[in-house]
Structures are given as C-alpha cells and as structure tokens.
C-alpha cells in the first residue's frame, strides 16, 4: 500500500466521503487508507458487480478488473452493473464506465484476459488485496496459490442457488500471524461435474448482491484495519430460510502449499488439478476425440432432409420451460436409468444448454451400455439460438 498518511483530498472528494469521515472509528485515517490502497477484482459478474460498486463508491484508490467475458442477457438478473443495452459488450469496458460514474476520483485498471498460471503473478503482484468473485474451481485455486506466494490477502466469495459463502484467506493479522488459505478449507477440488455451475443450477438474483456486499465490507476492513475480518472463519448464508452460520477454519498441516511439508512451490496446471480438460483449442480437440459432435447447422440439415433422427434433451424440466427445441426430456441424472428410451437403430442427437452436460451423458451411455450412435449437439441451445432460431431464449 502507498503511504496513506500523505494522502490528500480535494473538496469534491471530501464531500463524497463525508459520511465516512463522520464515523469516529473510521474517519480521515480510514479514508486515507482506502485511497492509498489497490484492490484487484477477479470477475466482474454476479459477485463482482455489487462488490465493485461499493468499493468504488467507498473510495478505494485503485481498482483492477480481470474479466474476458461479454455481457449476455442471462447475466442481467443479478449482474447489476449492466443493462439491456450492454448485451454483447465486454464486461470490463462497461464496468469501468459505470464505476467511473459512481466515483470519478479513483483509478480503474482493466485486465481484459483470463487469469492463468502464466499471468497471475504478474497481475496480482501489483495489488494490495485480491477479491475472488470467480465461479470455477481452477481459478479459485489459482488465485489462492498466487496470493499465498505473493503474501496477499484473498477475500473470497461463492454462491449457489440460495446459498453463499465468504471468507478472508491468507490474512496477516496485527500480530504478524498468517491465517488459513483456501487449501486449508478445501484440500482437494470436487470431482468434475459434481458441483453444477450457476448456468446449470441457477442462482437467486439477489444472492450475489448480498454476498458481494459482504465481500466489499471485508475488503474495506482488511484495508483500514477496523473491525475483525473473516480470517480463519467461513461465513455461510442461506437466503431461503434466512439463516447464517460462521465456522472456524483451521490451518491444515498437510496443506501442500503451506503445510509442514509443502509440495507446491510454483503455480501449476489448475485445469488438470481439478480434473478438467485444457482450455481453448486443446479442450475442443479432446472433446471431439471423446464424443462425436454435430453442429446445429448439420443437425438442422438432417431434419430438413427428412432423416430419421432422435433428439434427447438432458436438461432439467425448468430449463425446458424457458427454452426448448424439441426432443425427449431425460435429465442427466436419470439418463442411465432411462436408457431404454434411446433408439439404437438410428442417429441420436443429445443436447443441453451449452453442450457440456450432453457430452457427459454420451460418455456415460457409451461406457455403461455401449451406445455407438450418439452425437453431441455442439453448443447446445445457445448455439441453436445464435445460429438457427433467435426466438429461442438464451438463458
């Protein structure tokens, strides 16, 4: 952090922060520390949107944005930085515009990229506090490990349907003690596919706002030194029955990063660590080699030419109510139990929202029952909506 004691404010800034300055425990000292600090938000979506708005409004002097995604219509029910007119634009560009409108007195740095083992150290090392608003396990472990290696506090948040979690990892307290990190709480990632994404399982729109605001509060506490951060604790919130719980997080002596006999000394391949295929072209090649695919255009040509093709939808019933292109609905969890509904004598196209669950279904069916006539609809409903029929909603 910069020398906060030498921070100065313009009359406009003093007016902006006047309600902070009137808090005895916060005051001018707290505001100067915020202005001197830099925070990197990894992800500008569900958690990042509310968190960033409050960090900008509060006066964090430098905010970094890491995101490579574009805004989709399905983002708008929870990613409150964005509006309908922003669909198709880059998230970091719109986020920077909105945050500058909230507070023109701060600096916004844009990192329009995917955080990887190749760039994480270079990006993270320039910031005082890292705020993890990501939604996948490889990036969570990557952020954690980079923060530990660089001695950075990691304010972590996660959401699922009606539930949220917040913790402050790798925090250095006033006595010089370093707190637990993400690997102390989760030594190993869950098996691939066990925990569905928000796109698959859904999330209550207001939940990211609640959890993102708590993250912002923890970031401010870490920077200013007021209060007691959620270091060594995991805060659990259930919006469905409005229950909260805080559990202790202990250091694990077997932690491969910070335990008694550390094995990890540099950033690793986090896709491989989480049992997932490599990103980019390598992922496409691997998927093609494992599961036969058909594009939406190819499938449409089969139907238009009168080919006898069976279509299987492995999404959940509520998804079919949102958007559908026909086919027999057999959710992924029931696909093996209802395999007798799948014809072995003709082409069978299996589809879902994006093509991931349908690929998983085909793998299971081939492995257990030896199906050799199954094709994955590449890109799923999203590709159909984009390339064939735009009246089919994207969700």
What residues contact residue 301 under an 8 Å CB cut-off, 6+ apart?
none
Length of the chain: 395
How does pLDDT run across 111-128, given as a tens digit for each residue? 999 999 999 999 999 999
How does pLDDT run across 178-190, given as a tens digit for each residue? 999 999 999 999 8
Tell me how far apart the alpha carbons of residues 391 and 393 are, in angstroms, rounded to a whole number: 6
What's the pLDDT at 191? 85
Q: Is residue 213 among the annotated active site residues?
A: no
Domain 282-387: what homologous superfamily?
Answer: Rhodanese-like domain (3.40.250.10)
User: What does the domain layout of the chain look like in residue ranges?
Assistant: 37-273, 282-387
Can you tell me the mean pLDDT for 55-82? 95
Three-state DSSP at 245 gives strand
Examine the pLDDT at 169 and tell me if it is beyond 90. yes
Name the pLDDT band for 88 (thresholds 50, 70, 90).
Answer: very high
How does pLDDT run across 202-213, given as a tens digit for each residue? 899 999 999 999
Average pLDDT, the chain: 94
What's the pLDDT at 167? 98
Of 147, 213, 274, 352, the active-site residue reads 352
Question: Residue 39 gets which letter from DSSP?
Answer: E
How does pLDDT run across 315-349, given as a tens digit for each residue? 999 899 999 999 999 999 999 999 999 999 999 99
Q: Is residue 274 among the annotated active site residues?
A: no
Examine the pLDDT at 287 and tell me if it is beyond 60. no
How does pLDDT run across 293-302, given as a tens digit for each residue? 999 999 999 9
Which range has the top average pLDDT, 123-127, 257-261, 270-274? 123-127
Domain 37-273: what homologous superfamily?
Answer: NAD(P)-binding Rossmann-like Domain (3.40.50.720)
User: 48-58 vs 91-102: helix axis angle to the nearest 10?
Assistant: 30
- Tracing tokens 């506490």 back to the chain, one arrives at 221
Can you tell me the mean pLDDT for 218-222? 98
Examine the pLDDT at 75 and tell me if it is beyond 70. yes
Name the pLDDT band for 277 (thresholds 50, 70, 90).
Answer: confident
- Tracing tokens 């209802």 back to the chain, one arrives at 338
Q: pTM value?
A: 0.79
Examine the pLDDT at 286 and tell me if it is beyond 70. no
Tell me how far apart the alpha carbons of residues 37 and 59 are, in angstroms, rounded to a whole number: 9
Tell me how far apart the alpha carbons of residues 146 and 166 are, in angstroms, rounded to a whole number: 19
Say if residues 380 and 353 touch (Cβ distance below 8 Å). yes
Three-state DSSP at 222 gives helix
From the list 156, 162, 161, the residue with the least C-alpha distance to 139 is: 156
What's the pLDDT at 288? 42
Of 147, 198, 213, 274, the active-site residue reads 198
pLDDT > 90 in the chain, percent: 90
């Amino acid at each position: 952090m910069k020398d906060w004691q030498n921070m100065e404010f313009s009359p406009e800034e003093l007016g902006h922060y006047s309600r902070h300055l009137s808090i005895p425990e916060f005051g001018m000292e707290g505001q100067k520390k915020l202005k001197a600090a830099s925070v990197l938000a990894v992800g500008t979506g569900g958690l990042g949107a509310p968190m960033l708005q409050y960090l900008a409004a509060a006066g964090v002097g430098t905010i970094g944005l890491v995101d490579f995604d574009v805004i989709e219509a399905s983002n708008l029910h929870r990613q409150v930085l964005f509006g309908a007119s922003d669909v198709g634009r880059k998230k970091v560009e719109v986020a920077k515009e909105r945050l500058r409108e909230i507070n023109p007195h701060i600096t916004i740095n844009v990192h329009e990229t995917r955080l990887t083992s190749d760039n994480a150290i270079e990006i993270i090392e320039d910031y005082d506090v890292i705020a993890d608003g990501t939604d996948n396990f490889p990036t969570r472990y990557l952020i954690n490990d980079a923060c530990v290696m660089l001695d950075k506090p990691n304010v972590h948040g996660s959401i699922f349907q009606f539930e949220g979690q917040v913790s402050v990892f790798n925090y250095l307290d006033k006595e010089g003690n370093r707190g637990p990190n993400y690997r102390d709480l989760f030594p190993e990632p869950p098996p691939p596919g066990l925990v569905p994404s928000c796109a698959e399982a859904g999330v209550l729109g207001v939940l990211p706002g609640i959890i993102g605001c708590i993250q912002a509060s923890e970031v401010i506490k870490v920077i200013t030194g007021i209060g007691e951060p959620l270091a060594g604790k995991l805060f659990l919130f259930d919006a469905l029955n409005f229950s909260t719980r805080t559990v202790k997080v202990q250091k694990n002596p077997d932690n491969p990063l910070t335990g008694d006999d550390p094995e990890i000394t540099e950033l690793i391949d986090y896709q491989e660590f989480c049992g997932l295929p490599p990103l980019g072209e390598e992922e496409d090649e691997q998927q093609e080699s494992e599961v036969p695919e058909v594009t939406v255009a190819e499938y449409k040509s089969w139907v238009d030419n009168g080919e006898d093709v069976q279509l299987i939808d492995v999404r959940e019933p509520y998804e079919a109510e949102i958007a559908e292109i026909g086919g027999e609905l057999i959710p992924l969890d029931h696909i093996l139990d209802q395999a007798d509904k799948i014809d072995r004598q003709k082409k069978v196209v299996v589809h879902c929202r994006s093509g991931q669950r349908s690929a998983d279904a085909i793998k299971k069916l081939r492995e257990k029952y030896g199906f050799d006539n199954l094709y994955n609809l590449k890109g799923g409903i999203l590709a159909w909506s984009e390339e064939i029929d735009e009246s089919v909603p994207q969700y």
